[in-house]
Amino acid sequence: MNISGGLALQMFFRGLRNTIAERPLSVSFEITHACTANCWHCNWGGPVKGEKRLKAEDYARICRDLRPVVSHLSGGEPLARGDIYDIARGMANPGQLPWMVVVTNASSLNEDKYWRLKEAGINQFSVSLDFPDERHSEFRRIPGLFEKMSHVIPQLAALGHNDVLLNVCITAWNYRALPQMIELAARWGTPMNFSVYTPLRLSDDRGMPVPGLLDDVRRVFERVIAMKRAGWPVYTSERVMWKFFRFFTERGIPGCQAGRRFLVIAPDGRLTPCAMVMAYHDTQRAMLREFTKHNTCDLCYISTRANTEKTARDFIADNLDLLLGSVLPWRKRKKIDLTALRGDGQVEDGKPTGAEPAESPWLEGEDAGSPDGGEGEAAGSAGRRTRLPTVGPASRPGDLTT
């Protein structure tokens, strides 16, 4: 990533101060819950009528008060807001923190918007990916999305700013395709970060690999790690990959620090510990007292949680190359000729071979853990599938049901 030595040190020391002071390392500003997609694994999708949203200056004030290391502009689909450039500009502090990330499905991303967002202060573009082919469009319910991404993402990566990252949520439906997605990232010129499915969003555990699949999941994870060691563009650390596997195996990881290490800002400015818990607060101190102190939830281990809950020792170990490469130019990691690697990290005739693409694992039926149980679900007039109820003391405003 395009992090200078000075900024890397700022991130480390602010992270240390925030940890001691119980301030968040990461804050996700969900500036809208409206979305251009209607993904199988998410509780958002389509427009949200009557949504109350803050103005750009209000989000900026909250960001200044919380002083996170990283601020995400997310949703929903944040590019659905026409004033996203003003929001980013108000929160950004060029050359300093917070590190500004926009999380997008890329359905409306193009080079013009890329440059406008960069000029407004965005440091990184985190683009969601679920499959290495047209299955991605089907999963996101945006016709032609993968084809568009196959042009736009390499185009933006070729600009050379090293600021586009593919983000993959690992599910029972797509885990077999992880090696192919890594190969795709290499072709597109981007690194890849992983997260894992949580049943919390839809009260639906079908995205979690069933026990009979765990040996297969382990083999795929081992291959991903081998690819990372061989130089393929995998950002996620080995330590976190195995924590993801533990989450799939044990169906939970205790010790969640939501509200302390990370939190979410709703479109209307209220604070909530995470995107899956509807426990709203006016201040972080109230959240720490009323929620975090009593929190026993262990039903997610998304990337944000995995990375913000690291000990200082684990953070340094997982990011040593990045930190040293940022501070000491001669320590920058040597680039690997990815075209000379196979998916298992071995050279074969100078060409990558990898495993054959899986046959639509999310549409194969019950054995593959398909979201429609092998039979399919009725879709509404707008193409929305039936939503299962969300988890929390109250349902989110604007939930779409058919």
pLDDT for residue 343 is more than 90: no
Q: What's the length of the chain? A: 402
pLDDT tens, position by position, 244-257: 999 999 999 999 99
> Looking at the domain assignment, is residue 359 inside a domain?
yes
The contacts of residue 101 (CB under 8 Å, 6+ apart) are 70, 71, 72, 73, 122, 123, 124, 125, 126
Task: Report the C-alpha gap between 141 and 274 in whole angstroms.
Answer: 25
Domain that residue 16 falls in: 5-368
Grade residue 333 by pLDDT with cuts at 50, 70 and 90.
low
Residue 36 is assigned to a structural domain of this protein = yes
155 in Cβ contact with 196 (< 8 Å):
no
Residue 153 has pLDDT above 70, yes or no: yes
Residue 379 lies in a domain: no
The count of other CB atoms within 10 Å of the CB of residue 316 is 12
38 and 46 Cβ atoms separated by less than 8 Å: yes
The structure tokens 């604070």 sit at 271
Q: Where residue 331 falls among pLDDT bands split at 50, 70, 90?
A: low
8 Å CB contact between 199 and 205: yes
CB 167 within 8 A of CB 182: no
377 lies in some domain:
no
pLDDT range class, residue 209, cuts 50, 70, 90: very high
Q: Is 379 a residue whose pLDDT tops 70? A: no
Say what the pLDDT of residue 328 is.
63
Asked which of 90-94, 123-127, 166-170, 342-346 is least confident by mean pLDDT, the reply is 342-346
Mean pLDDT of 260-266: 98
Distance CA 187, CA 117 (A): 24
- Whether the pLDDT of residue 360 is over 50: the answer is no
For position 253, which CATH number holds? 3.20.20.70
Given a cut of 70, whether residue 398 has pLDDT beyond it is no
Q: Which residues pair with 170 in a beta bridge?
A: 196
At 174, is the secondary structure helix, strand, or coil? Answer: coil
Burial class (CB in 10 A: 0-12, 13-18, 19+), 170: buried
pLDDT value at residue 186: 97
The whole-angstrom distance between residue 364's C-alpha and the CA centroid of its chain comes to 25
Given a contact cutoff of 8 angstroms between Cβ atoms, the answer to whether 335 and 283 are in contact is no
pLDDT band at 261 (very low <50, low <70, confident <90, very high): very high
Q: What is the pLDDT of residue 319?
A: 73
Structure tokens at 93: 């502090």
Structure tokens at 92: 């950004």
Domain presence at residue 334: yes
238: in domain: yes
Taking the CA atoms of residue 132, residue 138, residue 144 and residue 150 in that order, the dihedral angle to the nearest 10 degrees is -10
Distance of CA 213 to the CA centre of its chain: 24
With respect to residue 381, please indicate whether it lies within any of the assigned structural domains.
Answer: no
Total number of domains constituting the chain:
1
Q: How far is CA 4 from CA 95, 163, 200, 309, in A?
A: 9, 13, 37, 23
Could you tell me if residue 387 is inside a domain? no
